[in-house]
Amino acid sequence: MNPNLQQLQPYPFAKLAKLKDGLQPPESLEHIALSIGEPKHTPPAFVRDELIENLDKLAAYPVTRGLEALRETIAQWLQTRFKLQTIDAEREVIPVNGTREALFAFAQAVVSPGAKVLMPNPFYQIYEGAAFLAGATPHFINCSVETGFKPDFAAVPESVWQQCDLLYLCTPGNPTGALLDIDDLKHLIALADRHDFTIASDECYSELYFDEDNPPVGLLQACAELGRDDYRRCVVFHSLSKRSNLPGLRSGFVAGDGDILEKFLLYRTYHGCAMPVPTQFASMAAWQDEQHVKENRALYRQKFDAVLEILDGCLEVEKPQASFYLWPRVGDGETFARELFRQQHITVLPGAYLARESEGVNPGSTYVRMALVATLDECIEAAKRIRRFCQ
């Protein structure tokens, strides 16, 4: 067996199931799950129709590079959304089966054994697992209230940057919803140039924001402002799961540095992960439409406004800059999650399960993550129960 498998920790939801084991919540209260970031809004009907209309194409093997029409559609979306002058659909875009698969695989292709892989802390656990299985060492960069929940890049020693092969970003952040601004991204690009590492920016929550006039910026946008139209050392990951409520479609893309993606494509031809052709046609339909995305954001705004009004004064929590998560400070996150489930039949995720001890502290231990993915009525009911629980 690969000895690096021994370094993998149980996934957060396995830890959560163990925490809840044996607890008996009130039978009179319906269970409300706020623990898993799985979108519950209705997927666009036109995407389903496109998928059905192209089922006959299951008779053909898909190519790893994806259909030219899909890559062109993605390139056009990127240019419009992130104000890019150009992006080469042939060399700088690869469709993938969801960002989770691609984020993991990317490290296997670009990381040298023994190198360091840097990542925010708290973080999406795929980053850590990808580093271990690539034979690298994760280095966690704490995100705290003092830094606005951005990674404290200034605290990373010069020696660590020198050993870095890959830096994972997540903006908007999971679980905090914090955003890196354009100056943050430009600073990181300069560091990547100085120390010769690759930046992998996980931007799968980029379309869940509150101000229609001020969408979050992206890494390729920072490149464009710097005049780096080759996107050197920079790669972004996007998905239809959150943007279009299509987690089951398993559709996203990787875009950026063409030289890096050429090697990543070679890796993927062996990996055997080409996107089914019907899925590619359905994906084209989703990327070409923005109306359903605006309606999706409106639903989340409504839920955040209602929930935060109810929780005001009883819980230390603020509206995030983006995403669909709340990140309240609750004291001991495990105790809060366990007792909330036992008393109110609500499941939330302890923040410690999304972080690791670094610099003598686990930056998630005093928080819990709440995903506002349930219906509006369920979110309101959950907020009322949480208020009763806190009081």
User: CATH no. for residue 236?
Assistant: 3.40.640.10
pTM assigned to the model = 0.97
- 222 and 268 co-located in one domain: yes
- The reported pLDDT for the residue numbered 62 is 96
Residue 371's beta-bridge partner residues? 325
The domain containing residue 224 runs over which residues? 46-289
- The reported pLDDT for the residue numbered 353 is 98
Domain boundary pick from 262, 289, 316: 289
Reported as a pLDDT band with limits 50, 70 and 90, residue 66 is very high
- 99 and 224 co-located in one domain: yes
Q: Are 286 and 55 in contact (CB under 8 A)?
A: no
Reported as a pLDDT band with limits 50, 70 and 90, residue 163 is very high
- The reported pLDDT for the residue numbered 213 is 96
Task: Compute the distance between CA of residue 63 and CA of residue 70 in angstroms, rounded to an integer.
Answer: 12
- 135 and 52 co-located in one domain: yes
Tell me what percent of the chain is helix, strand and coil, each rounded to the nearest 5.
45, 15, 40
CA 326 from centroid of its chain's CA atoms: 14
Give, in order, the Cα–Cα distances in Å from 2 to each of 102, 133, 134, 135.
21, 8, 11, 10
Task: Compute the distance between CA of residue 122 and CA of residue 365 in angstroms, rounded to an integer.
Answer: 10
Give 261's Cβ-side CA count (13 Å radius).
27
- What average pLDDT does range 341-350 have in this prediction? 98
- The reported pLDDT for the residue numbered 336 is 98
Instruction: Give the rounded percent of residues in the chain with a pLDDT score beyond 90.
Output: 99
Task: Compute the distance between CA of residue 119 and CA of residue 58 in angstroms, rounded to an integer.
Answer: 38
- pLDDT, the chain, mean: 97
Task: Compute the distance between CA of residue 333 and CA of residue 350 in angstroms, rounded to an integer.
Answer: 5
pLDDT tens digits for 70-96? 999 999 999 999 999 999 999 999 999
In the chain, the number of structural domains is: 2
Domain boundary pick from 289, 314, 344: 289
Domain boundary pick from 289, 323, 352: 289
